[in-house]
Chain A
């Protein structure tokens, strides 16, 4: 009988580095770190094949706390660094960890292009709607009117919607989660990990010091059921403690509306069924804000497409397999001439 050795199951601890975690006590980042380590254990990831790339900000300290490879780069540029990593070695499992300032302000350009190219990485956006590491200035996702050290009279800018930007940039996988909702977050991260292409996950992350409770209107335990909707492919878009509320297309408009099942002749059949391949529906879900609507969580959109580095590799392999010349031939292409030894020189 042949003996087969079964690799021991990996535990979240296997993915923790020996470095002291130095986020503020109570920071939402701890919860995300825990969920990511659990996800990697659950999918039996290999530390040597896993790379965390980050920019600058509180979230960007993340790679130091992982036992994998890690590159803590410069502000906003993690997507560009990660693209280079994948160009060099498409087999690596690359995670980008970024914040709202890092991804959407200083690195906004790279974010758009990473998503449009569909590089195969997981992009985790820790959105706390504030600049934490620089001590509390308003960020590109801060709501208008946010008072901060740099906007003492209230900011006058409109925030950007991360998921809408990802969809608008041609994103193929767009999801959303809450830091402390471990079960849902881990499930979403697993989906993101399995997806080939840029899987974008916006995580509402509470900053206890500079923006505490920014999301409590829909994350507080007593409110979450009625103010969030967890979308799942093929399932009706129902929410509420009793799952008695639902979403449907508003009659006579290209818009959603909240209905109560069993009231005013509305039955469960009237409620929309989530189709994660439907971009229009994803856009409508992404645009829902409380209090008028529940905030959509889970995989809003998932539709595989060409993966950038895979296509490049295919092109290189196709060309190299047909190549008959070496670099010496390149140097000799085109017009050349020979200067011969002058034997008359004496």
Chain B
């Protein structure tokens, strides 16, 4: 839900109307709510002159007009004053700071500039001098200052169009018709629209954020809440994971969209003995993380698809050297540079298989912003317990979106320190734990445990280089068995919604959790027999997953890729998993899922 608000002279109704048009063109269900003052032109800058236009879209059934909105556009202080109460906590606030001069602040009844104190901390504020940016964008058309400033609403509209992937063409056509007699005005507004759109793209303002707004449930768990983005939750989870492992976190990364916010968040946590290292490239980042783990810290690296490709060889080294490593992949649309700001789930097979040789490791996938916290901790635990790399998949959608989060108490969490072997007694560093098959973490600096590791095949018995054929077979089998054994630390797969058997189960992983749970929830409300299973542990898979899925006559796997997880399920369980695949850089729409589920239910009956 988006609400545009400004002075009655700011053209908010036109802006809202155009957004409605573009949304209708995008075939979203929508409802609109124009809200403008009785006075046609109340004195500018006053609270009673605020004009607003609200639009609800997406497939969510809009229950009441009093719902909180997800995005508020406030073109002046008065609009902010009047409308802020309706913005949901954690929502996006777009303000024209060019209009926040003292006179306007005073007229709106502000004693201090709310952009300069902490009063807007509960929201994600995008503060821009829209007035100046608009004037710059239309400067070539020779308009008066007043006329130029009137293009502000279309500049803002362009910005919001980027955020929600609306098509600009209908609006451009409308402007050309509307101002047929004043082509300069038409062209200036089009230029403003395009400039706002371009800036949003440059700023990499995430799209599709609205899908994570969680409706107020009647029996929400009591406690202390905040909003959290996936990137924040990931960073904090890593920090807490290292703390629970009683290790120093050494986080090594190279800037890349959309993964950089994890680096930024951790860089601000130096006081928790967290070392962040901005490496010279992706390969150096993963290698430094491996070096840090080798020397007894918890090495973590983070990137997005193209960067993960570069890290592949080094991840294989960590598999061979059997050292802990956590690799975060905030996926984006590929191949190659692809669509850096758009979301996709197309790195799943890369995570599973994208290395040379037989190179098994653990793959996990967070399903929502707050889930990143729990999964990051889990990744730290598994990596250190089994002395293995763990790839944790997130995506641009999860990373940038925010959701309310019941804040956990870190002091209540169970620590999982690894025996680092910092003191003797002397032992052979090539031995393995009988249960986990992990080799001990014999850390440099420890007397009596000096040994050599590396990427060459090593003897199972001694840890020395070995070219023995049987040894290579044995080591290959042991590496695979070690990862298979991680299943003992993976909880059994639960059914999120619906019955534990029946005609149809929708199996998802990662960020499709939001849309799938909503679609399945809607259809369950209608009385349809459909279930939802959401897998967080991709490799190894939960022990009961095969049996669970065999209880359904049909398995539907919606994915933002061409069918990667469905391939894995078919391969592992010989089931006829059906794909619902979409590679547009866009998340699933609820109605797309509902339509597909209905069709599959019909086929399954």
Residues of A participating in the B interface, judged by any CB pair closer than 8 Å: 17, 19, 46-49, 51, 53, 63-64, 66-74, 77, 79-89, 91-92, 109-110, 112-113, 312, 315-316, 319-320, 322-323, 325-328, 330-332, 334-342, 345
Chain A residues, CB < 8 A from B448: 48
Number of interface residues of B (CB under 8 A): 68
Report the bound CA distance from A81 to B290 in whole Å.
6
Given A92-B445, A113-B284, A336-B226, A84-B299 contact (CB < 8 Å): yes
Near A by CB (< 8 A), chain B positions 251-301 give 252, 269-273, 275, 277, 279-281, 283-285, 287-297, 299
Asked if B338 is at the interface of the complex by the 8 Å CB criterion, the answer is: no
Docked-complex contact A339 and B270, CB < 8 angstroms: no
Partner of A335, one of B89, B219, B297: B89
Q: Which residues of A contact B445 (CB under 8 A)?
A: 48-49, 89, 91-92
Question: Within the assembled complex, what's the spacing in Å between the Cα atoms of A80 and B286?
Answer: 8
**A327-B291 contact given A335-B89, A338-B225, CB 8 Å threshold:** no
3 tightest A-B CB contacts, nearest first: A84-B291, A72-B454, A80-B287
Decide if A320 touches B273 in the complex (CB within 8 Å): yes
A113 touches B280 (CB 8 A): yes
B224-A110 in contact (CB<8A): no
User: How many Å from the CB of B51 to the closest CB on chain A?
Assistant: 28
**Nearest chain A residue, comparing its CB with the CB of B411:** A328
CB-CB < 8 A to B221: which residues of A? Answer: 339
- Does A88 contact B295, Cβ atoms closer than 8 Å? yes
Measured CA separation A154–B292 after assembly (Å): 42
Interface residues of chain B: helix, strand, loop or mixed (majority):
mixed
Q: How far, in whole Å, are A56 and B453 apart by their CA atoms in the complex?
A: 13
Q: How far is the CA of A231 from the CA of B239 in the complex (A)?
A: 50
B121 interface residue (CB < 8 Å to A)? yes
Q: A66–B296 Cα gap in the complex (Å)?
A: 21
Q: Scan residues 437-459 of chain B and give those whose CB is less than 8 A from a CB of chain A.
A: 444-456
Closest Cβ–Cβ distance, residue B443 to chain A (whole Å): 8
30 pairs, CB–CB < 8 Å, chain A vs chain B: A17-B452, A68-B450, A70-B452, A71-B453, A74-B317, A74-B455, A80-B283, A81-B291, A83-B291, A85-B292, A86-B295, A87-B250, A87-B292, A88-B294, A88-B295, A92-B295, A109-B280, A112-B280, A113-B284, A316-B273, A319-B271, A320-B270, A320-B272, A320-B273, A323-B271, A327-B236, A327-B239, A332-B224, A338-B223, A345-B219
By a CB distance below 8 angstroms, the chain A residues around B285 are 80
Q: Which of A71, A88, A325 is in CB contact (< 8 Å) with B296?
A: A88
20 extra interface residue pairs, beta carbon distance < 8 Å, beyond A63-B454, A80-B285, A87-B288: A48-B444, A64-B452, A71-B453, A72-B453, A74-B314, A74-B455, A77-B287, A80-B284, A81-B294, A83-B279, A83-B284, A85-B294, A113-B284, A320-B271, A327-B240, A330-B272, A335-B89, A336-B407, A338-B223, A339-B222
Task: Give residues in B with beta carbon < 8 Å to A.
Answer: 89, 121-122, 219-227, 236, 239-240, 243, 248, 250, 252, 269-273, 275, 277, 279-281, 283-285, 287-297, 299, 313-314, 317, 321, 407-411, 444-456, 464-465
- Which residue of B121, B269, B275 is within 8 Å of A330 (Cβ)? B269
Partner of A71, one of B122, B223, B454: B454
- Decide: A326 near B410, CB < 8 A? Known: A332-B224, A334-B226, A337-B225: yes
Q: Are B294 and A72 in contact (CB under 8 A)?
A: no
Asked if B407 and A331 make an inter-chain contact with CB atoms under 8 angstroms apart, the answer reads yes
Complex contact B271–A331 (CB within 8 A): no
Do A87 and B297 form a contact, CB below 8 Å, given A69-B444, A92-B444?
Answer: yes
Kindly list chain A residues whose C-beta atoms are within 8 Å of the C-beta of B275.
Answer: 87, 312, 316
User: How far in angstroms is the closest Cβ of chain B from A334?
Assistant: 5
* B224 engages A336 (CB within 8 Å): yes
CB-based contact B465/A64 at 8 Å: yes
Chain B residues with Cβ below 8 Å from A83 are: 277, 279, 284, 288, 291
Which of chain A's residues have a CB closer than 8 A to the CB of B464? 19
In the bound complex, how far is the Cα of B121 from the Cα of A84, in angstroms? 36
- Closest B residue, CB atoms, query A106: B283
Q: CB-CB < 8 A to B227: which residues of A? A: 335
